[in-house]
Amino acid sequence: MTNSKSLIAYYSRKGENYLNGSIVKLLVGNTEVIAKKIQELTGSDMFGIDTVKLYPLDYTETTKVAAKEKTENARPKLTGVVDNMDSYNVIYLGYPNWWGTFPMAVFTFLESYDFSGKTIIPFCTHEGSGIGKSETDIKKLCPDSMVLPGLAIRGGSVAGAENLVENWLKQHR
Phi, psi of 46 (to 5 degrees): -120, 145
Q: Which residue from 9, 38, 66, 142 is in contact with ligand FMN, where contact means CB under 6 A?
A: 66
Smallest gap, in angstroms, from Cβ of residue 41 to ligand FMN? 18
CB nearer to ligand FMN: pick between 88 and 102: 102
C-alpha–C-alpha distance, residues 24 and 65, integer Å: 19
Tell me: does residue 102 bind ligand FMN (CB under 6 A): no
Tell me: does residue 129 bind ligand FMN (CB under 6 A): yes
The angle formed by the CA atoms of residues 121, 125 and 133, to the nearest 5 degrees, is 65
Three-state secondary-structure class, residue 39: helix
C-alpha–C-alpha distance, residues 108 and 106, integer Å: 5
C-alpha–C-alpha distance, residues 31 and 158, integer Å: 8
Q: Which residues 2-61 are close enough to bind ligand FMN by CB under 6 A?
A: 12-13, 17-18, 26, 29-32, 59
**Contact by Cβ (8 Å): 106, 132:** no
CB nearer to ligand FMN: pick between 75 and 89: 75
Tell me: does residue 142 bind ligand FMN (CB under 6 A): no
Residues that bind ligand FMN (CB under 6 A): 12-13, 17-18, 26, 29-32, 59, 62-63, 66, 96-100, 125-129, 155
